[in-house]
Structure 1
Amino acid sequence: MLKKLQKGFTLIELMIVVAIIGILAAIAIPNFIKFQARSKQSEAKANTKAIFTAQKAFFQEKDRFSSLTGEVGFEPERNNRYAYYLGNGGSLEDRATSTIVNAATFTGINVDIFKYGVGTQGATMVTSPCTCTGGAAGCNVPGIDPPPSPAFNAGAVGNIDADSTVDVWTISSGSRVFTVTASCTADANNPSGEPANDQNDVNL
């Protein structure tokens, strides 16, 4: 009786399979990285909206807005990848250790570098690449306009993909109109209370 020969894969067939896997990986991996980065942006969206809500609630009681995180009651959960700014050039809550020291003078919250090790931001928010009109003075610069025309801007900055570009978000009590350019990724019309992605780290 003749034995049946077992047929295996030829070298060419194996090379074709490896090439196909390589092509699929080249397409899928960058898309996965972008998807992962976009999921991290949800933190900035949620927390800038929380700033807006806290400011509005504070205004109902005090008839003014505040650039102090403790005064308006903005204290996001730890593990934050973004730094948050209610004012510009003040001092940020330090999250470099396991214990947070609260102070009445904080105008923002720094990145939780106790968790991530890197990513700390300066007390002055990085300059947005956008120009716009509306909102408080400066339009996309964190700060407060006092009565009789009270308004506020707030912002968030974080590095979500470990490159040199940062992700920049702003929000305002007033509606704003942005001049959209290659470096400014915000939508042209930005309603009051809607976070604007001034500089999208996912695409830049």
Structure 2
Amino acid sequence: MTRLFARKNRGFTLIELMIVVAIIGILAAIAIPNFIKFQARSKQGEAKANLKAWFTTERAFLQEKDRYEEDIKIIGYAPERGNRYAYYFGTNITTCEKRDVAGIDGTQTSAFCIEVDTAKFGTGAQKLPTPAKATTLTFAGGGADPKGPGISGVCPGCNIDAYAAGNIDNETTGFDSWYISTKDATAAAKCGNADEKVAVAGTPWLSYNDVDCDS
């Protein structure tokens, strides 16, 4: 009876513990990278939503004024704070909406780009990361071909496009880059988007996928 009682209360052997630890290690090696990628992909929703909202605002402005406008202060475009991405709407990248302190400067009358919100993500975040543009963009349809970002041609036969770029995986090898235009284009992405070859007008298009390209 004493022997049986002693055997029932013995602990795990070292080999059993090593097997459990090895299994946990294997599961972690599989799960953690997938979780990081899933987390990064969820952050991409910001760029898609903000670029789509900008496109809608530009279309409304076109209906009213018969032209597009690069200056977001004129069209009344103001995305929410806390943005991980920088946004480019024209060739002027010296006149940007700064987001490095609490509140937005209400006296600023012009802005052609929006900086990353370093007030939230810290001064170490790059304010204006350079977007990785598509290797080729072959446009189809009427009006001038966008040269990006900004207005191309003379309205009403003009078009306008914009870019977004942000660091969403904490690496500095490349920046997650998005493109949107008022004109359709067939495109060749630099990385991570080989299955989506058409940048449809009004639809945000991923030209460099920071989740897959340099992770």
Q: Give yes or no for TM over 0.5.
A: yes
Q: One-letter code of the match for 1:132? A: L
1:151 has 2:156 as partner: no
- Per-residue displacement from partner, 1:100-153 (whole Å, max 9, x unpaired)? 11422210111100000133333x9535143112275445x2111231412110
Structure 2 spans left out of the alignment, 5+ residues: none
Q: One-letter code of the match for 1:144? A: I
1:142 has 2:149 as partner: yes
Alignment-derived partner of residue 201 in structure 2:
192
**Which of residues 93, 114, 118 is equivalent to 2:119?**
114
- For the residues of structure 2 that align with 1:78 and 1:151, how far apart are their CA atoms? 28
TM-score by length of 1: 0.91
1:45 has 2:45 as partner: no
Mapping for residues 29-178 of structure 1, pairs under 5 Å: 29-90=32-93, 91-102=95-106, 103-117=108-122, 118-122=124-128, 125-134=130-139, 137-139=145-147, 141-145=148-152, 146-164=154-172, 165-178=174-187
Q: One-letter code of the match for 1:105? A: S
Q: Is the 8 A contact 1:89 1:125 kept in 2?
A: no
Q: One-letter code of the match for 2:139? A: G
- For the residues of structure 1 that align with 2:29 and 2:131, how far apart are their CA atoms? 33
- For the residues of structure 2 that align with 1:180 and 1:202, how far apart are their CA atoms? 14
- For the residues of structure 2 that align with 1:180 and 1:113, how far apart are their CA atoms? 28
RMSD: 1.9
* Displacement of 1:18: 0.2
Runs of 4+ displaced beyond 6 Å: none
Q: State the secondary structure of the residue aligned to 2:151.
A: strand
Alignment-derived partner of residue 2 in structure 2:
2
- For the residues of structure 2 that align with 1:179 and 1:2, how far apart are their CA atoms? 76
Q: One-letter code of the match for 1:2? A: T
- For the residues of structure 2 that align with 1:94 and 1:125, how far apart are their CA atoms? 16
Q: State the secondary structure of the residue aligned to 1:106.
A: coil
Structure 1 spans left out of the alignment, 5+ residues: none
Cα separation, partners in 2 of 1:125 and 1:55, compared to 1, 3 Å: farther
